[in-house]
Amino acid sequence: MAPMKGLTVFIADLRKCRSQEDEERRVNKELANIRTKFKENSLNGYNRKKYVCKLIYMSLLGHEVNIGHKEAVDLVNSTKFSEKQIGYLAASLLIPEGSELMRAVVSSLRRDLYDTNECIVCLALCAATNVATREIAESLTEDVVMLLLAPSGSPFVKKKAALCLLRLLRRFPESVKAQQWAARVIPYMGHRDVGVTLAVTSLVTALAQQQGDEMRKASTFAVRRLRSLVLDGERVADHVYYGVPAPWLQVKLLRLLQYFEPGEQRPELLGILRRIIDESQEAPRELQQMNAQYAVLFEAINLGIHVDVDQGLMHESALLLGRFITSRETNIRFLGLETMAHLAACIDSLEPIKRYQGVIVQSLRDRDVSVRRRALDLLYSMCDVTSAKAIVAELLRHMAIADATLREEMALKVAILTEKFATEYAWYVDVMMRLVSLAGDHMGDEVWHRIVQVILGNEELQLYACRIALQTLRAPVCHESALKVSAYVLGEFGHLIANAPGCAPLDQLKALQARLPAASLPARAVALTAVAKFTNLFPEIKNLCLRLLDRFRGALDAELQQRACEYYALATVESESLLPTVFEEMPPYPERQSALMSRLLSRETDTEDQRTWVVGGRDINRSRSTRKPAEEDSSAVGGKQETIQPTATSATAVAVEAAAPTSLDEPPAQTPEEQERVAKSRKHYARLLWESDGILYDGAEVQVGMMAQYKPPAARIGLFLGNKSAAAICDISIQAESSDKSGDLVIQQATDQDAVPDSLMPLGQARVFFDVRCHRVFPTAPTLRISYTLAGAPTVLELQLPVTAAHFMDPVTISVADFFARWKQLGESSIGESQAVLKTPFLASDADAVQWLRNVAGGMGFALIQGADAVPDNIVAVGIATTEAAGRFGCLMRVEPKPSHSLTRITIRATNPTLAKAVATNISMIFDAR
C-alpha cells in the first residue's frame, strides 16, 4: 500500500502535541475538515481511504469517532484490494454491531466469499472473524463451511475458514448450528497441509467441548496423526522447530484427546506418551528446543493423567515434575507446578508429590506472582489428613506477607482445608478465628458465615467456640469479621460458659459493648442481635441490655435504629412466651455444598478451551469425570438445567430473620436475569392456583402455557410448549409425574391425542394433555419435566405443576347457622386446622383488594357465604374436596383482612389435615405473588 502523505502529516502532528488538550484541538480540527470533505460528492477512492484511515487512527487513540460509517461501507464495496482492506478494518472498528450499515457489510462479505481472487476471499474471512456479529453467524456460517469443505479450495482459504468458524462458534454457539456440519470437518484433521490440520484441530477441540460423544471419531484421527509424528518419525516440511516435528500440532492433538475416553486406543496412547517422556530425558541443546520439547511434554503428562493416572508412567512423571519445579527458568517452574497440581487433583496416592512439599512451600515466596499462585493451587490439591496441619500452618504464616490479590483466594482455601480435614474441634476453631483476624479485609462474608454454620451444626464445638469468642473480644485487636463471629456465637451459646470464672453474663456484655464504638455498621447490627438474645438468655442483665438497646433507638443509621426499636419492643412486651419463642436457639443448618466451595469454583478462570479438571482433591474431580465436557460448563455452550419450584414463606420465620446472617441459608448467587425469571415463574404458578388457564413458564427460549379442567376427583391438564428462539428445537420430551410415590395422585398422558413432535420450528407450538385422578388427599404437587435441544445444547426444565389437593374442590352453599356449627365442631376436634397471618401491603393501596380476595376464594373452588360475618370485609367460604378412594372432605375458610395494619389472617378448618395445609399454602403463595 502506497504511503498517504496527509495521513503521515496528521500522525506527525499528533506526536508533536505536548498535552492532551493540544491533541484534542488537533483531532477536532481534523474531524471538522473530514466532515466537510465527506459532504463533497467528488471525493475519489484515494481521499476516501485516506480520511477513513485518519478516523481509524483517532479511534485507536481513544477519541470518540461517530462519522465515516457510510464511507467505510463504500470502501468495502470497492473493487480495489487496498480500499476494500481499509473498509473492512474501519467496519470492524467504527461501525456499531447493531447499526443498519452492518447489513450492507454482511452483504459485501457474502459476495466477497465467492470471489475468484483468493486474496479477496481471505480478506472477507478475516473481516468476518474480526467483526463476528450474531447476524454474520446466522447468515454466513453455511458459506464459510462450504469454503472449508470445498474439495478444490486452497489450504490458505481452508485455514482461514476453520479459524472463522472457531470464532463464530465461541461467540454464538446457538447461531452456527454446529450439529449440522461438525462431523463433516473431522476428516480434515488428516489434511496434508499442517496449517489446515492445526486450524481444524482447534475447531474440533471447541466442538468436542459442546458435542461430546458426537465428536468421538476425532480421537481416531488425532491418535493416527500423533503416531505418525511421534512414533513413525514423520518430518513435515517447514514445520520442524529445532528438531521437534510440528510441536504446536502435537500440543493441540494431545489437548483434544483429553476430552474423550481412551477406550481401545489406550495401549497405543500409552506408547506415544512413553516415547514423548523418554525423549524429554535428553538435555535440550538450545532454549528454543527446550521450550518446544517441554510444551509437548507437559501436555503429554496432562493426557497421561486423563488416560490412566494409576500407571507407573505417572509416578515417573511425578519425578520429572519434581525436577521442573526446581528449575531456574520461571516458565518451567510455572508449568511444573501447574501440571503437578493436575496430578495431585487426580492421583490416589499423594506420596510421590509430598516429597517435594518443602520446595512447593518455598515457591510461595517466588518473585513471580503467577508461580506463587500455582504453588498455592498445588498445596491445596495435595493436602490430606496427614499433611493438613502443616500446610494450613504454613499458609497462615505466609498470609501476613502475601499479595493482596492472592490473599482472598488463600483465605478461601485455608477455610476449606480446615473444615475438610479437621480432626480436633479446638484446632478448627483456633485456625478459623486466626484466619478471620489475619485476612478479614480480603475475603467476603462467606467465610464467617460458614464458621457460624459449622458451629451451629456441631454441639461439641459450641462450648470451646464460646470461650475463644470471649477471648477474641477481649484481645487488644479484634477484626470486624472476628467480632461478628464472636457476637453471633455468644448470642446463641453464651449460656454454656456463664458459670465459668470471668465468663459471667455481665462480663460477656461488657466485652461486647467495648467493641461497639469502633465497629462498622454491619458488625454493630450483629452485635445488637446478640444483645437482644442476652435479654432472653440472662434475665439478670436484661435491664442493662435494654439500656444499651435504648441508646441505639436514636441511631442515625436506619438499619441499626430499626433493629434496636424492634428488639426493645419485643423485650418489653409483657408476655412470658413471646421472648423465648422469638429468640430461641437457631437450629442447625441443613447439609449442602459449602458456600466457600461454590465461591472458589466460581473463581476458576479458564481460557477459551475448558479445563478437564479443577484445582482440588480427587473427590471433586471424580465427580466431574462422570459428566460430559459440555455439562461441566454449560454456560460455554448454552446448555443448562433450570429448576423452578415455588415455595411458601413461613410466617413465623419473619420474626427471627434479623437474628441470623441471611446468606448462610441461601443458594448460590443468581444473576439478575435468573432472579427475574424465577420471580416471574412464581407469579405465574401462584396465578394458576386459582385460575384455570395461563402461562406457567416464560423463558428466553421457550414458553409453557397451561389449561386445566377439573371434575373432582378427575382433571385434564393441557400443556402448550412454544418456541420463542430463532432456531428450531428438537428432541422434545414432556413428562409429568407425581412427587408422591404412594399413588395418592395418578397422572399420565392422555391416549386420545397426537404424539409430541420431535422438533419445533421458531414460533411453533406443541401441545400435550395429561389425565389426572385424585385417589387420596396428596401433600405435594406433581413435577413437570421438559427437555429439548437447541443449537446442539441440551436443556432441561423442571417445573412444579400447579395441581394440589385444593384443586379437587367443589363449592357448597350452606346456611350461616350450619357454617358456625360446623366451624365450632371442627375447632373442638382439632382434626385439621391451619392458620397464618400474612403480610398484605396491597390492602392499603388497592381499593379493589377485598374484591380480589373474594375472587381468589371463588377461583379456588369455595362458595362464599354472604352476611356470615359481622365485619363486611371478612370472607367466609365452604368447599368439599372429592377423592376416589378416601371419599369427600369438607373444608371451611375464614379470611380476615386488616387494611390498616396491612395484614390478613387466614384460618382453614377441614376434616383432613393435609387438605387444610394445602389450602393455606396455596393462599399464602397467592398473596406473596400479588
Strand partners, 907: 835, 894
pLDDT > 70: percent of the chain: 90
Nearest-angstrom CA–CA distance, 94 and 458:
61
Residue in this structure with the C-alpha cell 446468606, named with its chain if needed: 663
Indicate left, alpha or beta for 781 from its phi (over 0: left) and psi (-120 to 50: alpha).
beta
- What is the pLDDT, as a whole number, of residue 653? 28
**3-class secondary-structure state, position 905:** strand
Average pLDDT over residues 421-441: 85
Nearest to 298 by CA among 331, 346, 271, 347: 331
- Alpha carbon of 91 to those of 4, 128, 690: distances in Å? 20, 10, 55
User: Strand, helix or coil at 98?
Assistant: coil
Give the relative orientation of helices 459-474 and 425-439 as an angle to the nearest 10 degrees: 40
Which band of pLDDT confidence, cut at 50, 70 and 90, is reported for residue 675?
low
pLDDT score of 524: 92
pLDDT band of 632, cuts 50, 70, 90: very low
Asked which of 460-474, 586-600, 719-733 is least confident by mean pLDDT, the reply is 586-600
Give residue-wise pLDDT tens across range 60-91.
999 999 899 999 999 999 989 999 999 999 99
Q: Is the pLDDT of residue 247 over 50?
A: yes
Cβ-in-10-Å burial (0-12, 13-18, 19+) of 283 comes to exposed
Is the confidence at residue 810, as pLDDT, over 50?
yes
Could you give the count of Cα atoms lying within 13 Å of 838 in the half-sphere of its Cβ?
Answer: 27
Predicted confidence band of residue 608 (pLDDT cuts 50, 70, 90): low
CATH code of the region 806-929 = 3.30.310.10
For residue 294, pLDDT over 60 is answered with yes
Check whether 499 has a pLDDT greater than 80: yes
Backbone φ/ψ region at 246: left (φ over 0), alpha (ψ -120 to 50), beta: left
The set of long-range contacts for 501-509, using a CB threshold of 8 Å and a minimum separation of 24, is 503/466, 503/467, 503/470, 505/534, 505/537, 505/538, 505/540, 505/541, 506/540, 506/541, 506/544, 507/470, 508/470, 508/534, 509/534, 509/538, 509/541, 509/544, 509/545, 509/548
- 817 phi and psi angles, rounded to 5 deg: -65, -45
In this prediction, residue 655 has a pLDDT band, given cuts at 50, 70 and 90, of very low
Residue 611: predicted pLDDT: 66
442 pLDDT exceeds 80?
Answer: no
Average pLDDT over residues 594-607: 61
Report strand pairing: 793-800 vs 640-644: parallel
**Could you write out the three-class secondary structure of 213-271?**
HHHCCHHHHHHHHHHHHHHCCCCCCCCEECCEECHHHHHHHHHHHHHCCCHHHHHHHHH
Specify the 3-state DSSP secondary structure of 868: coil
DSSP-derived pairing of the beta strands 693-698 and 714-723:
unpaired
The per-residue pLDDT of the chain, averaged, comes to: 84
Q: How high is the pLDDT of residue 657?
A: 29
How confident is residue 541, by pLDDT bands cut at 50, 70 and 90? very high
Q: What Å distances lie between residue 430 and 270, 434, 526, 579, CA to CA?
A: 47, 6, 21, 33
What confidence score (pLDDT) does residue 371 get?
Answer: 92
Distance, in Å, from the CA atom of 905 to the CA atom of 816, rounded to the nearest integer, reads 20
332-338 long-range CB contacts below 8 Å, 24 or more apart?
A: 332/294, 333/363, 333/366, 333/371, 334/368, 334/370, 334/371, 334/374, 335/294, 335/298, 336/298, 337/363, 337/371, 337/374, 337/375, 337/377, 337/378, 338/298, 338/374, 338/377
Give the best-scoring range by mean pLDDT among 119-123, 225-229, 838-842.
119-123
Distance from C-alpha of 115 to C-alpha of 121, rounded to nearest angstrom: 6
Q: Are strands 244-245 and 729-737 parallel, antiparallel or unpaired?
A: unpaired
pLDDT of residue 459 exceeding 50, the answer is: yes
What sections of 573-671 are H helices per DSSP? 578-582, 595-602, 618-625, 629-632
Cβ–Cβ < 8 Å for 52, 87:
yes
Task: Tell me the residue type at 464.
Answer: Y
Q: Give whichever of 119-128, 209-218, 279-288, 861-870 has the largest mean pLDDT.
A: 119-128
Fold assignment, 676-803: Immunoglobulin-like (2.60.40)
DSSP 8-state secondary structure symbol assigned to residue 539: G
Residue 198 has pLDDT above 70, yes or no: yes
Residue 625 has pLDDT above 60, yes or no: no
With the C-alpha atoms ordered 350, 292, 284, 235, is the resulting torsion angle positive or negative? positive
Q: What are the angstrom distances between the C-alpha of 900 and each of 190, 845, 853? A: 79, 10, 16
pLDDT at 666: 37
Chain centroid to CA 805: how far?
A: 35
- CB-based burial of residue 830 (10 Å sphere; 0-12 exposed, 13-18 middle, 19+ buried)? exposed
What is the pLDDT confidence band of residue 605, given thresholds at 50, 70 and 90?
Answer: very low
Residue 796 pairs in a beta bridge with 641, 787
Q: Establish whether 54 is an annotated binding residue.
A: yes
Is 710 among the annotated ligand-binding positions?
no
Whether omega before 245 lies within 30 degrees of 0, making that bond cis, reads no
pLDDT above 60: residue 533: yes
**pTM score, whole prediction:** 0.59
Instruction: Judge whether 46 is annotated as a binding position.
Output: yes
Q: What share of the chain is helix, strand, coil (3-state, %, to 5)?
A: 60, 10, 30
Which residue in 81, 49, 52 sits closest to 69, CA to CA? 52
pLDDT at position 263: 79
Q: What are the structural domain ranges in the chain?
A: 676-803, 806-929
Residue 181's identity, in one-letter code, is: W
Distance between CA 48 and CA 86 in Å, rounded? 10
CA distance 919 to 676: 27
pLDDT in tens, 752-781: 787 888 888 888 888 899 999 998 998 888
> Residues 404-417: pLDDT tens digits?
778 888 888 888 89
Which is higher by pLDDT, 252 or 667?
252
Q: Look at residue 877 in the predicted model and tell me its pLDDT.
A: 93
- What's the chain's length in residues? 930
Is the pLDDT assigned to residue 578 strictly greater than 70? yes
On the CB side of 666, CA atoms within 13 Å amount to 12
Pick the closest to residue 663 from 836, 484, 926 (CA basis). Answer: 484
Tell me if 51 is assigned to a ligand binding site.
yes
**661 pLDDT tier (thresholds 50, 70, 90):** very low
**Alpha carbon distance 373, 359 (integer Å):** 14
**What distance in Å separates the CA atoms of residue 326 and residue 180, rounded to the nearest whole number?**
49
The 10 Å Cβ neighbour count of residue 67 is 14
Spacing of C-alpha 389 from chain mean position: 32
The model's confidence at residue 793, banded by pLDDT at 50, 70 and 90, is confident
Mean pLDDT value across residues 833-847: 84
Q: Residue-wise over 443-460: b if at least 16 C-beta within 10 A, else e?
A: beebbbbbbbbbbbeeee
When pLDDT is averaged across residues 830-843 and rounded to a whole number, the result is: 83
How many angstroms separate the CA atoms of 278 and 293, rounded?
A: 11
Contacts of 805 (CB under 8 A, 6+ apart): 774, 777, 778, 779, 881, 914, 915, 918
Q: How far apart are CA 50 and CA 582, in angstroms?
A: 77
C-alpha cell at 560: 441499626
How confident is the model at residue 637, as a pLDDT? Answer: 33
Rounded Cα gap, residues 420 and 416, in angstroms: 6
List phi, psi (to 5°) of 504.
-60, 160
DSSP 269-292: HHHHHHHHHHHTTSPPSSHHHHHH
C-alpha span between 419 and 595 (Å, rounded): 12
Predicted local distance difference test score (pLDDT) of residue 602 = 62
pLDDT at 616: 67
By the 10 Å C-beta count (0-12 exposed, 13-18 middle, 19+ buried), 814 is classed as middle
* pLDDT (0 to 100) of residue 141: 93
Instruction: In whole angstroms, give the CA distance from residue 450 to residue 445.
Output: 9
Q: Three-class SS of residue 694?
A: strand
pLDDT of 310 above 80: no
Give the phi and the psi of residue 774 in degrees, each rounded to 5.
-100, 105
